[in-house]
Structure 1
Amino acid sequence: MSALRIAGLADVDTVADIVAASFQHMPVIRYLVPDDQRRLPVSRAWYRLYIEHAIRGAGQVVMTDDATAAAVWFDRTGEVTEPEDYAKHLADLAGDDLPRFEHLDHQMDAHHPRDPHFHLLFLAVLPDRWGQGLGSALMNHTHTQLDADGIAAYLEATSPDNQRLYHRHGYTDMTPPTIAVDGDTLLYRMWRPVTNG
């Protein structure tokens, strides 16, 4: 398995490519950008805003050396910030889909836990590497650090299958358990308390 490392600014586009390729199938991304032709470039530009923000100090991005998987974390133990000029950049990239992005942002913000934690926003593995333990390796890397520092973790799983994976890594379902994005499109709120071994 490829070694893991902390991503730097030179990796922003590479990580955006990993997330974009990994997330195209997700119902929440299809909701955000219904047009098949626009979905990849628009969603990639959106991911890139957050990836760069994390790398610039709002969190941490861990990736494999061979650029097949990445985890994008945000530090929510102190002041919470958003990408610089986020509203303007979002309007520019989203175009007619802006109300959908704003709706998702509002729903996620309204349901975000207030207790100090690290937020796993994106866990992405290239489709041809699924099922090889890369996502687990990325999580274990940061969970070890968080446990040592006494910090909990939070995420929004995108499917029941992902939810089961996160259960195996110590995450539990929250109350309320889901965020309704649109119709049958749900995100699953999950919390990982500090683990001492």
Structure 2
Amino acid sequence: MTTPTTIQRVTDADDVRLAADLIARSFDHLDANHYLVPDPDRRLPVMRDFFHLLTAHAADGAGEVLLTADRSATAVWFDRTAEPSAPADYEQRLADLAGPHLHRFTELDELFDGNHPEEPHWHLAFLAVEPARWGQGLGSALMRQTHTRLDEQGLAAYLEATNPDNQRVYRRHGYAEMTPSAIRLTDGTPFYRMWRPPGATD
């Protein structure tokens, strides 16, 4: 198993863009992405812009963006210990990038916002690894770095898993399904809400 020697918290615009591109590529197979942008020719560029909008907001102070030293894996977290903020001009920027698919992105936002836990926590919004590097422990290393800090601060973590395989990975890091667990888009695509209390086995 290959583990990264260095994990960096990034704010540089080029690294933030790289992280967003990585998320878009590694998430391109997901049912949610196919629902949000049904047109396969438009899907990747639209999702790349969407992920960049949120990743840049995290890097600007709403959370943190982590990259492995070899730039093959990234984690995007949002600080939900206080009232969350939205990116500047979010509604207009979302409309500009989503185009005719705006209603689908709005539905996703409403689904997530309406089912987000209120207890203070950090939200793991995106965990992405280059497809060629899956199974090498990079995502686990990224999670452990933030979990260590959260455990020291007595803070919980939350995420929405995209499928049962991911759920199994997250369970190994101390996450458990919430009630209700599955929340669904209009077409039935599920997300699984998971919660990690501080000090959980990682």
Give the TM interval when normalised to the shorter protein: over 0.9
Identity of paired residues, percent?
Answer: 55
Unpaired segments ≥5 residues, structure 2: none
RMSD over aligned Cα atoms: 1.0
Q: Which amino acid aligns with 1:8?
A: T
Q: Which amino acid aligns with 1:171?
A: Y
Ranges of 4+ aligned residues in structure 1 off by more than 3 Å: none
Give yes or no for the alignment of 1:37 onto 2:41: yes
Which of 159, 178, 181 pairs up with 1:177?
181
TM-score by length of 2: 0.95
Find the counterpart in structure 2 of residue 78 from structure 1: 82
Find the counterpart in structure 2 of residue 27 from structure 1: 31
Q: Are the equivalent residues in 2 in contact too, given 1:9–1:56 (CA < 8 A)?
A: no
Distance 2:164 2:133 in 1: 20
Find the counterpart in structure 1 of residue 164 from structure 2: 160
Q: Are the equivalent residues in 2 in contact too, given 1:152–1:191 (CA < 8 A)?
A: yes
Find the counterpart in structure 2 of residue 49 from structure 1: 53
Structure 1 residue 95, shift from structure 2 partner: 0.3
Q: Are the equivalent residues in 2 in contact too, given 1:179–1:189 (CA < 8 A)?
A: yes
TM-score by length of 1: 0.98
Give yes or no for the alignment of 1:5 onto 2:8: yes
Q: Are the equivalent residues in 1 in contact too, given 2:16–2:65 (CA < 8 A)?
A: no
SS in 1 for 2:33: helix
Give yes or no for the alignment of 1:132 onto 2:147: no
User: Number of paired residues?
Assistant: 197
Structure 1 residue 17, shift from structure 2 partner: 1.1
More displaced, 175-184 or 91-100?
A: 175-184
Q: Deviations over 1:11-54 (max 9, x none)?
A: 11110111011100000111100100000000000000111000
Distance 2:83 2:12 in 1: 22
Structure 1 residue 196, shift from structure 2 partner: 6.5
Distance 1:183 1:21 in 2: 23
Distance 2:188 2:105 in 1: 17
Distance 1:9 1:156 in 2: 27
Distance 2:21 2:167 in 1: 24
Distance 1:185 1:50 in 2: 21
Give yes or no for the alignment of 1:61 onto 2:65: yes
Q: Deviations over 1:76-134 (max 9, x none)?
A: 00121011110000000000000000001000000000000000000000100000000
